[in-house]
Chains A and B, each alone.
Chain A
Amino acid sequence: MIFNWFTYRKYPDFWKNYLKSFKQKQPKSIEETRFVVFDTETTGLSITTDRILSIGAISIAKNSIDVADSIEIYLKQDEFNTETVEIHGILKDGNLKKITENEAIKQFIEFLGNAVLVAHHTAFDIEMINAALKRMKLPKLKNKTIDTGILYKKLANKKDKLYNLDVLCDEFTIPKHDRHTASGDAFITALLFLKIISKLKKERTVHYSDLFRTSNNKGLI
């Protein structure tokens, strides 16, 4: 790992701890790995001008979703886009307890540690977090990631289409409660993740490393 010692010294403690956690030996089986399934709600779809309004994340270990190991954060943002309010339902000055973006990122990073990040269409959510990290003068996330949208395509005969969360919920009979809240979507994605893995295992032997390979050469992102 190459980094500038002077830069490292300026990092806040939480980031130093975060980096340290990757020095530990990582488990190499699905059962032993801690997965963190997460989702963000944002003011819009632009990585540069839009902002994160909330982050919901929940962990999976030993094939079970642990509600006690979850986090739900709402952020104070000056950026505000009235058009997306009807999607995520978060008002600029609502009754929810909100924290600053810096504090939110700190809490999220502390919660995340070296876990494997799971999201549905990971790329956008991760880039939003990375953009926030950049504003804090911090580097990008280092975690391994799994996109449930891509994971789904590893199942037999599912290669052709791009599936959104709603379609997959219907296929896997997951109730669409709290859709378009960060925590709600994270929870739905967690169930989806367990179900897809279980289906994959039924079709063939699944190795830990299989989770990270894309299903076809084209890739998705």
Chain B
Amino acid sequence: MKNTIAERIFDFLKDYPPFNLISKETLLEVSKRIEIQYFEKDQIIFNQNDTPHEHFYIIYEGAVRLYRFIDNEKHNLDICDEGDLFGLRPLIMQENYLMGAAANEETILYGIPISLFNGIILNYPKVSQFLIASFATNTRDPFSDKHKGKLFANVSSIQKIENSFAETQSAKYSKNPITCSIETSIKEASMIMTKHIINSIIVAKDYIPIGIITDKDIRTKIGTGIFSIFDPVSKIMSSPVVTFPEKITVAEAQIALLKHKVSHICITKDGTDKSELVGILAEHDLNILQTNNPMFLVREIKYAQDAETLKHIRTKASELTKGYLEQEIPIYFITKVITEINIAITKRIIRLAIKELGQDPPVAYAWLAMGSQGRSEQLLMTDQDNALVFENVDEDSYLQVKEYFLKFATLITQKLHIVGFEYCPANIMASNPKWCLSLKEWKEQFKDWVKHPTSDKILLSIIFFDFEYIFGDKELYNQMSESVFKYISKKQTFLGFLSKATLDNPPPLGFFKQFLVEQDGENKDHFDIKSRAIRPLVDAARIFSLHHSLKVNNTIARYEKLMEVESQNKDLFESCANAFKILLQFRTLQGLTNNDSGKFVDINNLSKSDRLKLKSCFKPIKNIQDSLKLRFNVSQIP
């Protein structure tokens, strides 16, 4: 039967989260069961400690004020406006209202029956994910501390969420792969491969994988006459093999193939090359579009002969990012893939530079990435931030060595620029003599920054302490990062200075939940999502990681690690990681849409649902900043 009113309600609900995540049929059913209520200004909707209603509410028109009495004093907690949900948590938790709600102006509410919604939460993981995100940001609410850890205790669907991500789909691979022994001749192995029509064969002993031979080995090592077909397979096999446990996910497989630059992964019982072989996963098993997959791009990068070709490939990678975001592939996975591509490009450029200079580097060195690239968080083309460390050399040869590396670095930065990585406006690049140093000089530099944290040195430490190894001698990098932890552990007040610096960042929201926008300049009335929302989270993760000497740079990975080492603050770190993921995805989409860095967001052009999404990320920011303040004695810092 036609239901005009329900259709009209449906039209309203469908634009707001979490209703935008529900199928049309289900939402229409929900719409048929809505109750509509009208409230005058200041009329009470429910009182604190009231038993929960049968409905929770979405504001159709007007605004609602949430408040709480503490010691007979009324505190206004929040103002909700059109499209905001409220009064849901007590219904799920089956407890009385923690806050009171009153109409802040003339208000029309849609009441949604909780009986109907419980089923939706169970059947739509994305809905519960949205609710968790919006509740999680409230878990640190000082009034609800007692709920820590038991939020959603009675909603079993929550566990399912993580598994619904495409990232965690398990990859399909061939079971019971064909093997041969190490004594087998190449000719025999080739005949087995031909008979079974396979492009690889695993060399194994008692089902323990030792090595692998692929079509390519036979082409490059036999066809060229380097080895004879009567030689044993051990002569041409790749060994050891890359191994993974049985539960490999598509994301892990893609990353492993990228990282190790192999076309096959051996699946073993416990994931090491010391346990029994159970399968083989080949690149084509991942079954993804050929020209638009990261592995294809990485291979293209490896064969690129100039920066212009690399630029073209990087453009394709941008399209890839866009596609991933549209498919709602988790941001963590996307950043990993894009980072691998960026690293591959940088490495290729370094190789091209060495070739162009016609002279190998005189001593060991390492190329380092800083900032967002160092943290593996680069999705868009941003500035290049890099540095170079070279082995300690004696005074006589120092100048000559440094001269080489400066020339080398200048060439590399030029090429990166051609690819599309803008020069760093602050000149934090390896081509700058200040950031092209020997290991000894770097250590002194770090020591000085930690010991004498003036404001300019703090800014530099923020950038440099996120450095990541890209190419060259990894040992140099290891020694650098260990020195940082050593100096900081000796002078913990340094972290107080870092905390103070990040707390100076402008907060995202003003009084009454207004977005704080830029006051003047070309970005007037735009919201600076990078400085006001993303950076505070990145900074906090860095400070806590330095405090615990964690050797991770990626912000999400840092929060995940922090959840382990400070299990008592698990909720806080988790809400930060979630908020960060949402913000990064947001910024990237903005950037791709507007073809810029996505730093500024035009609030007025945002949909209501996007505005809500953004706002939901701000509570963790405040909570982690409060935590920094206490932990690192910021009030003691001059």
Q: Which of A's residues lie within 8 Å of B, judged by CB?
A: 56, 58, 63-68, 70, 72, 74, 96-97, 173, 177-178, 181, 183-184, 186-187, 190-191, 194-195, 198-199, 201-202
Contacts and interface: CB of A to CB of B under 8 A. Distances in A.
A97 B1 CA distance: 7
A191 B108 CA distance: 9
A74 B2 CA distance: 9
A199 to B, nearest CB: 8
A34 B2 CA distance: 23
B4 to A, nearest CB: 4
Give the dominant DSSP class at A's interface: mixed
A145 B31 CA distance: 28
B36 interface: yes
B6 interface: yes
B491 interface: no
B35 interface: yes
B9 interface: yes
A67 B2 contact: no
A65 B36 contact: yes
B3 A177 contact: no
B260 interface: no
Contacts of B6: 67
Given A64-B111, A67-B32, A72 B38 contact: no
Given A65-B35, A195-B38, A198-B40, A58 B5 contact: yes
Interface in B1-49: 1-6, 8-9, 31-40
A63 B444 CA distance: 74
Contact of A67 (B1, B9, B39, B40): B9
Contacts of A68: 32-35
A127 B507 CA distance: 63
Contacts, number: 68
Given A64-B37, A195-B38, A183 B3 contact: yes
Contact of B38 (A66, A70, A198): A198
A177 to B, nearest CB: 5
Given A67-B32, A184-B8, A72 B2 contact: yes
For B5, B6, B9, B34, which residue has the most chain A Cβ atoms within 10 angstroms?
A: B5
A186 B35 CA distance: 15
For A65, A67, A173, A199, which residue has the most chain B Cβ atoms within 10 angstroms?
A: A67
Contact of B33 (A58, A67, A186): A67
Contacts of B40: 198-199, 201-202
Nearest to A71: B1
A67 B4 contact: no
A67 B31 contact: yes
A65 B35 CA distance: 5
Contacts of A199: 40
A64 B35 contact: yes
B373 to A, nearest CB: 49
B38 A177 contact: no
A2 B9 CA distance: 45
A186 B3 CA distance: 12
For B32, B36, B108, which residue has the most chain A Cβ atoms within 10 angstroms?
A: B36
A65 B4 CA distance: 14
B33 A194 contact: no
B36 A67 contact: yes
Given A64-B111, A67-B9, A67-B31, A191 B4 contact: no
Contacts of B106: 195
B38 to A, nearest CB: 4
A191 B35 contact: no
A68 B29 CA distance: 10
B2 A97 contact: yes
A99 to B, nearest CB: 10
B104 to A, nearest CB: 15
Contacts of A97: 1-2
A72 B37 contact: no
A181 B38 contact: no
18 contacts: A56-B4, A65-B36, A66-B36, A67-B6, A67-B31, A67-B32, A72-B3, A74-B2, A96-B2, A183-B3, A183-B5, A186-B5, A187-B4, A187-B5, A191-B38, A195-B38, A201-B40, A202-B40
Given A67-B32, A68-B32, A184 B38 contact: no
Given A191-B108, A198-B40, A70 B5 contact: yes
B35 A178 contact: no
Nearest to A177: B8
Contacts of B4: 56, 72, 178, 181, 183-184, 187
Nearest to B9: A67
For A65, A184, A194, which residue has the most chain B Cβ atoms within 10 angstroms?
A: A65
Given A177-B8, A187-B8, A191-B108, A64 B36 contact: yes
Contacts of A184: 4-5, 8
Nearest to A193: B38
B62 to A, nearest CB: 10
Contacts of B9: 67
For B1, B3, B4, B37, which residue has the most chain A Cβ atoms within 10 angstroms?
A: B4
B494 to A, nearest CB: 57
Given A63-B38, A66-B35, A67-B34, 8 more contacts: A56-B5, A65-B36, A70-B3, A72-B2, A72-B4, A178-B4, A184-B4, A202-B40
A173 B107 CA distance: 11
Interface in B106-157: 106, 108, 111
Contacts of B36: 64-67, 190-191
B40 to A, nearest CB: 5
